[in-house]
Amino acid sequence: MHHVVAYQVASTINIKEIKKQLSWQLLFQDSDEAFYTISENAYVYVFQYGVVSFFNVEDSQIQSIIKTIQPSCNNVFKNPLFDDIEVFVEEKQLKVGFEKIIIPSLDQDMIRLVMLNTSQSVALDRYDEITESLIIEINQHTRFLEEKGKLDISGHKLKKFIGKILNIKNRISENLYIFDSPDSTWDNEILNTVSIELKKTFDLQNRYRSIHERIDIIKENLELFKDIMDHKESSRLEWIIIILIVIEVFDMFVEKIIKFIGI
């Protein structure tokens, strides 16, 4: 039996810096990820979105590796989220089940696929936590609006909130390949089957949709808040204009009175 575990160690990892630091054999790389072998049948997979995945690596070595890459991380987490799956090797067998997968051999591409999906799963866990906390915060504002008939959030804070939501949505779309399969699966039916089954096992697509629906709800609420705030600001400007007109009319009236008295 072999073990795959993925940790969300930071918000982001600088892949360029990682490649300069690590001396292991690099098997695959692009701007967002780097896949290494550190010894026979032992692998490390590093992702730009802050996840590091390990295959067949001892816990003590995992902690050492995480410490090694921390200088290349942005916003390191004290208590990283993790997800894992057990990998069994049985000749001529291929089966993906709950928290385990049986593969016919220790094929490098297949192992990488398992590590990728495990990493996507733990990344979804983090985005689920983030969006859940944002929903709670939004509900506090909507309850205040219901009870008091006004907003308890400033325009500056609202703009920052909207920017945060848009950045989260963009990061999810850029970094998670929930609906796309890696290039290695295109011409390999077995790898494609493994990819599909792993997505089902980790429930990636449903979790991805749930997070996006939550983001849409938050975005819809924030847009409503913005409309209310814009209307309030528009009303304030209208009153300012009305007051200025009244002052000008009053000034003209007083000026005519003075002229009349002078005559």
pLDDT tens string 17-38 = 888 888 899 999 888 899 999 9
Q: Mean pLDDT, to the nearest integer, of 159-183?
A: 78
Number of residues that this document lists for the chain: 263
pLDDT at 151: 79
| Strands ordered across the beta sheet of 33-39 | 25-29, 33-39, 42-47, 51-55, 2-13, 73-89, 100-103, 95-97
Contact of 247 with 239, CB cutoff 8 Å: no
The pairing of strands 100-103 and 95-97 is: antiparallel
Q: How confident is the model at residue 56 (pLDDT cuts 50, 70, 90)?
A: very high
- pLDDT for 242 beyond 70: yes
Token output for 51: 């996840």
Whole-number average pLDDT of the chain: 85
Q: Mean pLDDT, to the nearest integer, of 98-113?
A: 87
Give the amino acid at 231: H
Residue that the structure tokens 């990892």 belong to: 13
Most confident range, picked from 63-72, 91-100, 138-147: 63-72
Q: Mean pLDDT, to the nearest integer, of 171-200?
A: 79
Q: How confident is the model at residue 114 (pLDDT cuts 50, 70, 90)?
A: very high
The domain 2-222 having CATH identifier 3.30.310.10: the answer here is yes
b/e 199-230 (16+ beta carbons within 10 angstroms → b): bebbebeebbeebbebbeebbebbeebbeebe
Q: Is 135 exposed, middle or buried (0-12, 13-18, 19+ CB in 10 A)?
A: middle
- pLDDT for 263 beyond 60: no
Q: How confident is the model at residue 233 (pLDDT cuts 50, 70, 90)?
A: low
Token output for 182: 């890696």
Q: At CB < 8 A and 24+ separation, what contacts does 255-261 make? A: none
> Out of 1-5, 169-173, 206-210, which region has the weakest mean confidence (pLDDT)?
169-173
Residue-range domain boundaries for the chain: 2-222
- From the list 165, 167, 170, 194, the residue with the least C-alpha distance to 181 is 194
Token output for 45: 């997979």
Q: How many percent of the chain have pLDDT more than 70?
A: 94
- pLDDT for 99 beyond 70: yes
Alpha-carbon dihedral sign for residues 67, 70, 72, 77: positive
pLDDT at 229: 74
For residue 37, the cross-strand partners are 25, 43
> Out of 63-72, 97-106, 194-203, 251-260, which region has the weakest mean confidence (pLDDT)?
251-260
